[in-house]
Structure 1
């Protein structure tokens, strides 16, 4: 028996085939081999063609088959993870009306800020747990104001994962967790926020029907099954945004547990058992995958947009060098990079900076002192310091994080990054042999009723544990303190 998981990212689409009996991933694929393009028609915009995600889902599924021959009739469920906060608009024929406005697009910041003022911080924070900010609801309002001819044709709006589920099943539906990530959800009433919709003059009928995170959400159509080489009627049984799903994939389900990622953007996501919020809305709370009315499970998320993208930008600037070689060279520079500081805020408005878009900055560069190695380390440390800045905000919400889990991938492949993270934040890091696609496949197994939440992680291995080093902690905390002073100067 098998389960398939898809992770719909902004860089690529990943697919995983999970053997249910062993709990192990027997095949995985990524498509395309190079990063998918992000359309930037204006500064601060970021769009992608949703149909391109579907084409890469098809290709990734073909690659799975090339890796491992399996009987499609033995696939008993499909799970979907996806890039959060995007907006896809379709008409009555389920045709895409415009490119998707994706997570790192900043065009709706002012719309959200105005709504925060108009609705009042007391309402927004106590009911939405967030400012409307740059989330999906505000992006939809932007379409309404700036592209009325498109808005008038919208039949349903959806998140990227909802779109892929629709391509699989023909059904337009979403989850409570998904509605919360778009700031459509009222945590106080456990219902769609009519007050926010009324403020934005959005018809609630544009929202898709609600289905459970775990459970049958639709069945594979004949058309989709034929294209993918699967069996019609195979159920889609799990769906979650990439960060809730990443936490799930790492068995982060209970209060105080935390997961982290270091992909294009970087995230720390911790589970809270209260409807808590940051008074400045610098970090965000969403409904976690295992939330129940009688047992609140919210995911508190801090995001640093400029993470892996900062490191990949530097790689492109350098030229012919591999990531392992970059990591090895960065390790030759001292902790603190001899005073060289990088503030990696060059990928749109940063939530932890109260939606400011200040751009990336390099300070204290000395042509006589600093080498390429210093710059390589300074970028990785700057990313870590940005993440730690967000964790300091989370601590103000009474989230006590001492241990975090991550997949052994992306920035966590770097010894310099791991060392800086553990010692700056004073946390133990556990690295696992998993990723978002594998997590989605495990979620599908839960949703299909094959395993429960306690059994879902059979076969997952902890690859390594990184503990803080008392001798290094002082050095990293000093470097972080200097970086904080530099950030304060940039913000004032």
Structure 2
């Protein structure tokens, strides 16, 4: 048996698979996000441990015999979070999360140093880890003075699980401190934020061993001693491992809290000016590119909250057939935007409202706005040298066929829906646990699921979508100075 642990923003999910990669069971536990000030987003690291322990206990209660047979554990986690530890490995403050934008000034200053884009292959985004440390130094100097280790969220869980300070390439590529092409920490970039390699965890590949489970936890969970913990992956790379998106030309679109258009690459292809992320993949000698939008299903959830309806109720009201855009346009910049704008202060908007605009029209505009944000990412990936002919849909929003039709039409690519199953980040993490424990060939393990259905672009509304996208593109520069 092999266990995947996925530390998300809203909860921890654990998933158990057998040697044939069949899902045996899963469990989850909730997490809350604290927003003490505008643009801030934090979590207590202790809550990650509590939630993980709860989820594993729930899994053991249902599948105790199977859990006792676990040979490998894989980790996945929300990326970019700054978990700051003192000399005794105690957190110095709440973790600053990926969607926290307080460090936008520090990010702009670091990004103005040409070494960052040259070495990391990426813009320094406010959500990345390095500018958060610069913010802490500027605003909480007494905390910064005590920092002895900086860990990403899943690697804080690893510290609890194994007692070791270890990370891996895919997650570390989102810190703005990794030499992404060489797959190692950059002492030069660390020095610009008054840190050194001693503050960083050791690095392994995601498919390699990244520690062994502590005896205390093995005894508590009734596992065998010395269970291998794999390097694991950041959440998007872990999802790619779950989907088998590990070879050049393979891509997926993720409709989660944030949105991701992810393409695997067999070479390092940075183009930071396009605001595309060029990161290491979880496999050795493999990279990936992705466009990221910060509010995907979050946009629909926001509309649901203000309208007093459930998200599914909103999308179901649109029916099955894809409608032509109404003239109402939504910019999904509720928390700023990454690809292609790299703008932490821009905010969302509706335009084209009239007396006749009703809730379904607003829903339609929200779905189209997110689809057009993915089209922005597709354009950016193409500029960075990646060709995408089709994508596989994952994430909670992919349950809406209407939304997938909108995305297929906006991107003018086929969207594949995988056969029923759990192929997300927790599944990818479990697969990495299997690979590390058995020293298996990653490409033999990380296969793609079968396709249940393919959604093609809707030819009858393609021209209308092109016109609506042109309006969408014109709005960002128009509202930038007033939002």
Q: Do they fold alike, i.e. is TM over 0.5?
A: yes
Task: Give the structure-1-normalised TM-score.
Answer: 0.92
* Matched residue, 1:106: 101
Of residues 66, 70, 74, the one that matches 2:69 is: 74
Counterpart pick for 2:275 among 270, 278, 282: 282
Gapped regions of structure 1 (runs ≥ 5): none
Structure 2 Cα separation of the partners of residues 487 and 332 of structure 1 = 30
CA distance in 2, matches of 1:333, 1:346: 28
Note if 1:131 corresponds to 2:130: no
C-alpha distance in 2 between matches for 1:348 and 1:477: 24
Give the CA deviation at 1:73.
3.6
Cα distance per residue 1:167-212 (max 9 Å; x no partner): 1111111113332211111245543212212222212211011223
- Structure 1 pair 85–423 and aligned structure 2 pair: CA distance change class (3 A): same
- The SS at the match of 1:448 is helix
Partner of 1:413: 399
Q: Structure 1 residue 418: deviation in Å?
A: 0.3
Q: Could you tell me whether the CA contact under 8 Å between 1:220 and 1:231 is conserved in 2?
A: no
Please give the residue correspondences for 1:389-428 in structure 2 after superposition, counting only pairs within 5 Å. Answer: 389-407=376-394, 409-428=395-414
Query: What residue in structure 1 maps to residue 146 of structure 2?
Result: 153
Question: Could you tell me how far apart the structure 1 residues matched to 2:183 and 2:26 are?
Answer: 37
Are positions 1:247 and 2:240 aligned together? yes
Deviation of residue 18 (structure 1)? 0.5
Structural mapping, 1:47-62, within 5 Å: 47-62=42-57
Q: Mapping of 1:115-126 within 5 angstroms?
A: 115-117=110-112, 119-120=113-114, 123-126=115-118
1:366 aligns with 2:354: yes
CA contact (8 A) 2:73 2:430 kept: yes
How far does residue 457 in structure 1 lie from its aligned partner after superposition? 4.4
Task: Kindly state the Cα deviation for residue 166 of structure 1 after the two structures are TM-superposed.
Answer: 0.8
Corresponding residue for residue 302 of structure 2: 313
Normalised by the length of structure 2, the TM-score is: 0.93
1:294-305 correspondence to structure 2 within 5 Å? 297-305=286-294
Equivalent residues, number: 477
Deviations for 1:421-453, whole angstroms, at most 9, x for unmatched residues? 111101122223311111111111111126422
Alpha-carbon shift at residue 325 of structure 1 (Å): 2.2
Distance 1:460 1:63 in 2: 27
2:23 paired residue number: 25
Match of 1:476 among 465, 471, 479: 465
Within-5 A mapping of 1:260-271: 260-271=253-264
Contact 2:257–2:295 (8 Å) recurs in 1: yes
- Residue of structure 2 aligned with 1:87, choices 82, 86, 89: 82
CA distance in 2, matches of 1:98, 1:249: 33
Check the 8 A contact 2:241/2:446 in 1, yes or no.
no
Q: Does 1:5 align with 2:4?
A: yes
Distance 1:61 1:463 in 2: 31
- The one of 317, 328, 343 equivalent to 1:329 is 317
CA 459–424 in structure 1, closer or farther in 2 if over 3 Å, else same: closer
CA distance in 1, matches of 2:411, 2:276: 17
Q: CA deviation at 1:411?
A: 0.8
How many Å separate the matches in 1 of 2:62 and 2:447? 22
Check if 1:208 corresponds to 2:201. yes
What is the rounded CA distance, in whole Å, between the counterparts of 1:361 and 1:253 in structure 2? 36
Closer/same/farther in 2, CA of residues 291 and 454 from structure 1, 3 Å limit: closer
Q: CA 1:89–1:462 in structure 2 vs 1: closer, same or farther (change >3 Å)?
A: same
Please tell me whether the aligned partners of residues 16 and 67 of structure 2 are also in contact (alpha carbons under 8 angstroms): no
Going from structure 1 to structure 2, the CA distance change for 1:485 and 1:355 (only over 3 Å counts) comes to closer
- Decide whether the 8 Å contact of 1:335 with 1:479 is kept in 2: no
Q: Kindly state the Cα deviation for residue 458 of structure 1 after the two structures are TM-superposed.
A: 6.3
Distance in 1, Cα, partners of 2:64 & 2:452: 27
Q: Which moved more, 1:56-65 or 1:458-467?
A: 458-467
User: In 1, Cα distance between the equivalents of 2:328 and 2:85?
Assistant: 48
Q: Which residue of 2 aligns with 1:463?
A: 452
Q: What is residue 479 of structure 2 aligned with on the other side?
A: 490
Report how far residue 345 of structure 1 moved.
0.3
CA distance in 1, matches of 2:253, 2:353: 30
Distance in 2 (alpha carbons) for counterparts of 1:281 and 1:138: 20
Q: Structure 1's 272 and 328: CA in aligned 2 closer, same or farther, altered over 3 A?
A: same
Q: CA deviation at 1:242?
A: 0.5
Q: 1:427 to 1:53 in 2, by over 3 A?
A: same
CA RMSD in angstroms comes to 2.1
